[in-house]
Amino acid sequence: MAMRSLPHPRGEVSAAIVDVLTRAPGSAVAAVGTLDPYGEDLLLTLHTCYELHYQGFTDVDENWEWDPDLLRLRRDLENQLLTALRADVPGGNDVDAELDRLLEPTRDTDGVAGFLAERGTADQLREYFVHRSIYHHIEADPYAWVIPRLRGQAKASLVAVEYDEFGGGRGERVHARLYADLLSGADLEPGYLHYLDTVPAPMLALVDMMSLFGLHRGLRGALVGHFATAEITSSPASRRLAELARTLLPHPACAHFYTEHVEADAVHEQVMRRDVIAGLLADEPAEAASIVFGIQATNLLEDRFADHVLKCWNEDRSSLRTEISAPAAPA
């Protein structure tokens, strides 16, 4: 995947970081004050800092990745986001109860998929694809960071799930590649993080949370909780989205991304619950509260994302920061 250029700022802090990253590493990085933890400025700044650990930016020196002042600023912003997340979820340490709630069936009319099934348009489904693009471009990457922080069965089983996420050894089946194919099939740009400037804060928050959990050993339980939530809820959601793609968008790649997840993630659900989580708790029972936090934080941010999208659509306006172009007319 090709790198992209630095994003357009969304406030004073992100403007300062975008500016300093065009300079040589070691340039002064200003301290930040208190920001809205769910706001565009903080979340874009975090995303920009995190991207230095992924593909990076075309116009940024790679040595910025471990610049001490930049890491100090990032940690300040991370603490603000973490404080908000912890305050906004109930917490607890009953992992089984949280997992059982994830398995409760949802109504066909619930959420974004319910809206799309009931009265959605092809353009709204394309909008949804744009939102999710910044998630699926790095879909399984943050989970790789937790591998050296696990041991025994938990490690072995998580690696097995990751192997599937990365295409089972076949580059053309890597899930990020399949999502790029989906974007192309929907007449959208498939390039890496192409729509970063278009996607608003609610989806940035979810992706930033994944990176935050992945980069900190002390949040390994939270990352496992998040990963389990994604896998447990993926299969039924993917089935509905595959049906929607077949109905609203003709290209087979749009449905194929989701059909690939239906059967695989039904298996992953069991592996994550019985082997990864159970294995981690057998080794480190104190991680129960962190796992619960990861599950609850994921659900919180997914709900915030859905609320944003549905509010916009119910008001008959785009849920993106800028509207995307219409698909090209058939020749």
pLDDT tens-digit profile of 225-271? Answer: 999 999 888 878 888 899 999 999 989 999 988 898 777 667 788 89
Residue whose token pair is 């990076």: 56
Taking only the tens place, the pLDDT of each residue in 103-121 is 876 665 679 999 999 999 9
CATH of 92-314 among 2.60.40.150, 1.20.910.10, 3.40.50.11540, 3.40.50.300: 1.20.910.10
Tens of pLDDT, residues 178-235: 999 999 999 999 999 999 999 999 999 999 999 999 999 999 999 999 999 998 888 7
Q: pTM of this prediction?
A: 0.94
Over range 66-84, report the average pLDDT: 97
- Determine the Cα–Cα distance for residues 101 and 302; give it in Å rounded to an integer: 15
Share of the chain above pLDDT 70, in %: 95
Residue 331's pLDDT is 47
**What is the Cα–Cα distance from 154 to 37, expressed in whole angstroms?**
32
What does the pLDDT look like over 288-321, one tens digit per residue?
999 999 999 999 999 999 999 999 999 999 999 9
Place of tokens 């990085």: 29
Residue 330 has pLDDT above 60, yes or no: no
Which sequence spans correspond to the domains of the chain? 12-87, 92-314
Residue 155 is encoded by which pair of tokens? Answer: 């490690």
- Contacts with 196 (C-beta within 8 Å, 6 or more apart), sequence order: 4, 7, 47, 134
Cβ atoms 71, 25 nearer than 8 A: no
